[in-house]
């Protein structure tokens, strides 16, 4: 009888937590990201291509800029509140901090928005070589997880 009560209590707790997470909207609504290539913009001779990511049409978009480097290809991701870099190197495709010389947003703000544990988790998303379409799709998929839970509303 005691086992049954422990199992029932555990079930109630799991059910409560799943309903709570669902009710708060943590990481929800990101499955419909719209990716748009920006063709008619001049951003400098080092930037090869630009895309915008829109997770919600009413919110501001996130910009992804492709640039070649000595190590491979960087996809700089910028919003009004954070900046990161997804990079394609010999090691694979994954996230890293944007070099301070390229930052427009104070590091203190970006540091508050970005989850350092998830940065480490996304260090290598795939060891494979990816093309631009796959890289931007991976960024759109993994970017919401990179934000601390308190800041996911920046994409919603």
Euclidean distance between CA atoms 66 and 78, whole angstroms = 12
Domain ranges of the chain: 1-29, 31-154
More confident residue, 55 or 27: 55
The arithmetic mean of pLDDT across residues 36-52, rounded, is 79
More confident residue, 93 or 13: 93
Task: Give me the torsion for CA of 9, 10, 16, 19, rounded to 10°.
Answer: -140
Q: How confident is the model at residue 12 (pLDDT cuts 50, 70, 90)?
A: very low
Answer yes or no: is pLDDT of 99 > 60.
Answer: yes
The arithmetic mean of pLDDT across residues 95-109, rounded, is 89
More confident residue, 85 or 151: 85
More confident residue, 39 or 106: 106
Q: What's the confidence (pLDDT) of residue 52?
A: 92
**Selection from 28-32, 83-87, 98-102 with the highest mean pLDDT:** 83-87
- For the chain, helix, strand, coil in percent to 5 are 40, 25, 35
Tens of pLDDT, residues 129-140: 999 999 999 999
Answer yes or no: is pLDDT of 28 > 50.
Answer: no
Q: Smallest Cα–Cα separation from 83: which of 58, 101, 59, 56? A: 101
The b-or-e profile of 47-77 (16+ CB within 10 A means b, else e) is: eebbbebbbeeeeebbbbbbbeeeeebbbbb
Q: What's the confidence (pLDDT) of residue 41?
A: 65
Q: Listing from the earlier edge strand, what are the strands of the sheet with 73-78?
A: 34-38, 47-54, 62-68, 73-78, 83-89, 92-96
Q: Is the pTM of this model over 0.85?
A: no
Beta bridge partners of 64: 51, 77
| Average pLDDT score, the chain | 79
């Amino acid at each position: 009888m005691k086992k049954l009560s422990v199992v029932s209590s555990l079930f109630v707790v799991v059910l409560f937590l799943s309903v709570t997470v669902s009710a708060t909207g943590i990481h929800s609504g990101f499955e419909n990201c719209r990716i748009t290539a920006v063709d008619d913009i001049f951003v400098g001779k080092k930037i090869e291509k630009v895309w915008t990511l829109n997770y919600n049409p009413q919110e501001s978009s996130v910009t992804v800029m492709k640039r070649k480097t000595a190590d491979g290809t960087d996809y700089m991701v910028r919003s009004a509140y954070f900046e990161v870099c997804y990079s394609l190197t010999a090691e694979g495709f994954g996230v890293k901090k944007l070099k301070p010389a390229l930052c427009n947003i104070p590091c203190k703000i970006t540091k508050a928005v970005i989850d350092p544990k998830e940065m480490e988790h996304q260090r290598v998303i795939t060891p494979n070589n990816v093309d631009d379409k796959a890289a931007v799709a991976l960024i759109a998929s993994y970017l919401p997880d990179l934000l601390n839970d308190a800041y996911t509303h920046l994409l919603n």
